Structure 1
Amino acid sequence: MNKIYSMLGIAKKGGNISIGYDATLINIKSNKSELVLLASDASDKTKKNVQFFCDQYDAKYIEYGEKEVLGKCLGRKVVGVLSITDKNIASYIINNI
């Protein structure tokens, strides 16, 4: 397991991650999202919608990992999209990808 997934696990324990499409959109719209992570195998519709809202609300997003691997490190089955609300964790992930 690489550093990024470990950091996501730590962020979840610290309550700095919102998992799922709806929770992520709420964070984007309320400007709480420092970084949005999209699974590379998320559906095209999901990617397009999330990218649209990120562009509209000036939120950063990156495509990283696969749904099952993201889910595994966050204690879920699959995770297609998530939002990181902590500035330090977000910059760590950006700098280490």
Structure 2
Amino acid sequence: MVKIPEEEIEKKLLKQIINLIQIGWRGRIITIGYDETVKQIKKGRKGFLILAEDIAERTKRNILKEGNLEYFQLFTKSQLGNFIGKKEVGIIFVPTTKFGLKLKGLIAQYFELKRR
């Protein structure tokens, strides 16, 4: 049995996460930005957030006050924006759908690997 280095697995997981973010954006499954995310929360939509690592602490605090949502801090604002063809993106709302659960699972796997 061949052992794959953890760095290799990490890279593949990140690539899959990026691909799913891109698919979610093109398929209009995910929502980006503070105001649009607040609209989704107020409509009662369930989901989780991907927050940029360099998002302002105040913005993070305010969005988390809007709804008790699980969140992951991953990538920078410019990286998230680059993935979907925007300048900068600080907040992504991912609804709880099959797509969302798949993305959440990959992100959880990634963080589990990072913790080791």
> Normalised by the size of structure 2, how large is the TM-score?
0.73
Aligned equivalent of 1:84: 94
- Count residues with an aligned counterpart: 94
Residues 31-70 of structure 1, C-alpha deviations (whole Å, 9 max, x = no match): 2242211111100111111111222xxx332222211111
Query: Unaligned stretches of 5+ in structure 1?
Result: none
User: Percent of aligned positions with the same letter in both sequences?
Assistant: 28
| Backbone CA RMSD of aligned residues | 1.5
TM superposition score normalised by structure 1: 0.86
Structure 2, unpaired ranges of 5+: 1-13, 108-116
Out of 39, 48, 56, which is 1:43 matched to? Answer: 56
Instruction: Note the 1:1-97 alignment, pairs <5 A.
Output: 2-55=15-68, 59-85=69-95, 87-97=97-107
Pair member with larger Rg: 2
Greater length-normalized contact order (CA 8 Å, ≥ 6 residues apart) = 1
